[in-house]
């Protein structure tokens, strides 16, 4: 079993290419059986898949150039609903295996596809942001998450990810902004967390000698919630 799993992991793209081809053959047989005339576009898709996948992509796989193989797969297939889901699954698999660059390549190629509808392109953009996030590319992750929000602002998961990143890097101003935004569209009460962030802001102002702004942030923290961190900081401040 371990040998089989090892082989599958080492030949992931080869297995994927065979899977895509089987999907195309399946659709071809179904349409043929139902006496549905294949469109010119679909016939071209099958032809391209057979030629491109087995010739170009196989060549790249043999030579060890997996990135170009991915691009060949994406360029070879006419992206219908079934094949799109296959590519999303491949990208997620790469990311979960820590192969971030390959996941990024898959999702960028999906975004660039002219045949992608806006809903699928938005989904690919979300996945790309997750790739950057998982890979530790903080600036790119932030930028891409924000690009998602520009298209659709009602994205609780995306806003929560931005909150987490800004809190991790201790950018308390941005962390506060996105926690407040999350409180407006999310289901959970954010008062305690917002209070804690305001305490962190107050501490930063105190370290910089800005006592007035420190007091303002601490007072605002108590308005949101008399959190434990707010109470402890007030005691330390006035002792």
Each of the 239 residues of the chain gets a pLDDT tens digit; together they read: 555 555 545 555 555 555 555 555 554 444 444 434 444 444 455 555 545 555 666 677 677 776 676 666 665 555 555 577 878 888 888 898 899 998 998 899 889 887 788 899 999 999 999 999 999 999 999 999 999 999 998 899 999 999 999 999 999 999 999 999 999 998 899 999 999 999 999 999 999 999 899 999 999 999 999 888 889 898 888 76
Interior/surface letters 106-123, b for 16+ CB within 10 angstroms, e for the rest: bbbbbbebeebeeebebb
Closest CA to 53 of 83, 28, 26, 73: 73
Each domain of the chain, given as residue ranges in start order, spans 160-239
Check the CA dihedral 103-108-111-114 and report its sign.
negative
Q: How far apart are CA 126 and CA 130, in angstroms?
A: 6
Asked if 125 and 147 touch (Cβ cutoff 8 Å), the reply is yes
pLDDT at 32: 45
Residue 37 has a pLDDT of: 45
Say how many residues make up the chain: 239
Which CB contacts under 8 angstroms, 24+ apart, belong to 210-219? Answer: none
227 near 192, Cβ under 8 Å?
Answer: yes
């Amino acid at each position: 079993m371990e040998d089989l799993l090892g082989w599958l992991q080492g030949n992931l793209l080869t297995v994927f290419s065979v899977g895509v081809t089987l999907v195309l053959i399946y659709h071809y047989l179904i349409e043929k059986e139902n006496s549905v005339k294949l469109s010119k576009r679909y016939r071209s898709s099958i032809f391209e898949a057979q030629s491109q996948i087995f010739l170009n992509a196989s060549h790249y796989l043999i030579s060890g150039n997996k990135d170009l193989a991915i691009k060949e797969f994406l360029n070879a297939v006419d992206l219908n609903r079934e094949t799109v889901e296959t590519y999303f699954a491949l990208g997620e698999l790469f990311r979960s295996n820590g192969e971030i660059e390959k996941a990024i390549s898959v999702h960028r190629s999906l975004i660039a596809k002219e045949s992608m509808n806006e809903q699928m392109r938005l989904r690919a953009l979300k996945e790309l942001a997750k790739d950057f996030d998982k890979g530790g590319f903080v600036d790119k992750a932030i930028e891409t998450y924000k690009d998602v929000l520009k298209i659709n602002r009602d994205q609780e998961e995306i806003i929560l990810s931005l909150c987490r990143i800004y809190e991790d890097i201790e950018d308390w101003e941005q962390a506060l902004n996105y926690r407040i935004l999350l409180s407006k569209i999310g289901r959970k009460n954010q008062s305690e967390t917002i209070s804690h962030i305001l305490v962190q802001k107050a501490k930063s102002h105190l370290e910089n000698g800005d006592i007035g702004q420190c007091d303002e942030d601490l007072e605002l923290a108590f308005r949101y919630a008399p959190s434990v961190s707010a109470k402890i900081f007030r005691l330390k401040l006035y002792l």
